[in-house]
């Protein structure tokens, strides 16, 4: 199975800050990576796929980069609604696997 490792496990920021989250795959997954946002009591929501393509309706302050094994999610100019937990997920091979999550908290 492909292991997905996210860092940090939590990060704190203020409104207007830039935050970057890292996801590392245990083997090459090309660009078969997605990012999800999850708020308490809600299902995850797809933010980006193909490592860098923004899902329809997602604000452009979210961006993704990377390929192979190393990926990043950046939130430019944090907004209050962005405080949530973020997960990466690989779709290169089965079983589909997720990272452990990064909680973005208010500083």
Partner 1 sequence: QVQLQQSGPGLVKPSQTLSLTCAISGDSVSSNSAAWNWIRQSPSRGLEWLGRTYYDSKWYFNYAEFVKSRITINPDTSKNHFSLQLKSVTPEDTAVYYCAKVTASWFDSWGQGFLVTVSS
Closest CB 98 distance from partner 1, rounded Å: 4
Closest CB 81 distance from partner 1, rounded Å: 18
Which one of 72, 83, 100, 103 is in contact with partner 1 (CB under 8 A)?
100
Distances in Å between the alpha carbon of 93 and those of 26, 34, 65, 80?
12, 13, 20, 35
Which one of 17, 45, 63, 72 is in contact with partner 1 (CB under 8 A)?
45
Query: Token pair 């100019």 is at which residue?
Result: 77
Residues at the site binding partner 1, with contacts judged by CB under 8 A: 1, 32, 34, 36, 41-46, 49, 55, 87, 89, 91, 94-98, 100-101
């Amino acid at each position: 199975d492909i292991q997905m490792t996210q860092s940090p496990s939590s990060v704190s920021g203020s409104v207007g800050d830039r935050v970057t989250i890292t996801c590392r795959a245990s083997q090459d997954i090309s660009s078969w990576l997605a990012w999800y946002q999850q708020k308490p009591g809600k299902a995850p929501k797809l933010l980006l796929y193909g490592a860098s393509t923004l899902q329809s309706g997602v604000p452009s302050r979210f961006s993704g980069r990377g390929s192979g094994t190393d990926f990043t999610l950046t939130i430019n100019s944090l907004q209050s609604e962005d405080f949530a937990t973020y997960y990466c997920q690989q779709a290169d091979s089965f079983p589909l696997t997720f990272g452990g999550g990064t909680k973005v908290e208010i500083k």
